[in-house]
């Protein structure tokens, strides 16, 4: 599938705090924990639990969420398909959309029971 400017903008304007509980519920149903979710997000973005909660409370958009993040140097190792999009084929002009899909890929791997050291590209 191809990313469009419209799709990129839709994702950019979504409120991270409204999606976070959906991630969490999915993981809990699969036997994972909030701590594991936060660890994955911290690895990707540099946000510790307090900063993450502050961003949720501020109701920041995905745009702001990723603009303020210090992305992990190994983010380029996150590859594969998420929601029909092959991460490594998403064009550079849609960087934000790619970052969202990379985070979702990590969360997918967590939900599927992959070991944490593999998820964190150790």
Question: What local confidence, expressed as pLDDT, does residue 6 receive?
Answer: 94
Question: What local confidence, expressed as pLDDT, does residue 25 receive?
Answer: 98
Among residues 69, 66, 55, the alpha carbon closest in space to that of 18 is found at 55
Give the span between the Cα atoms of 52 and 62, in whole angstroms: 12
Domains and CATH numbers, the chain: 5-119 (1.10.8.290)
Question: What local confidence, expressed as pLDDT, does residue 62 receive?
Answer: 98
Residue numbers of the chain with a pLDDT score lower than 50: none
Per residue in 39-65, pLDDT tens? Answer: 999 999 999 999 999 999 999 999 999
Mean per-residue pLDDT over the chain, rounded: 96
3-state secondary structure 52-101: HHHHHHCCCEHHHHHHCCCCCCCHHHCCCEECCEEHHHCCHHHHHHHHHH
């Amino acid at each position: 599938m191809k990313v469009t400017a419209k799709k990129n903008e839709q994702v950019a304007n979504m409120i991270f705090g409204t999606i976070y509980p959906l991630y969490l519920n999915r993981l809990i149903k699969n036997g994972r924990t909030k701590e594991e979710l936060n660890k994955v997000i911290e690895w990707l973005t540099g946000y510790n639990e307090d900063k993450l909660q502050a961003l949720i409370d501020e109701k920041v958009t995905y745009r702001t969420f990723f603009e303020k993040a210090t992305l992990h140097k190994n983010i380029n190792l996150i590859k594969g398909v998420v929601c029909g999009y092959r991460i490594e084929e998403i064009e550079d002009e849609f960087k934000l959309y790619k970052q969202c899909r990379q985070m979702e890929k990590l969360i997918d791997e967590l939900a599927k029971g992959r070991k944490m050291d593999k998820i964190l590209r150790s």
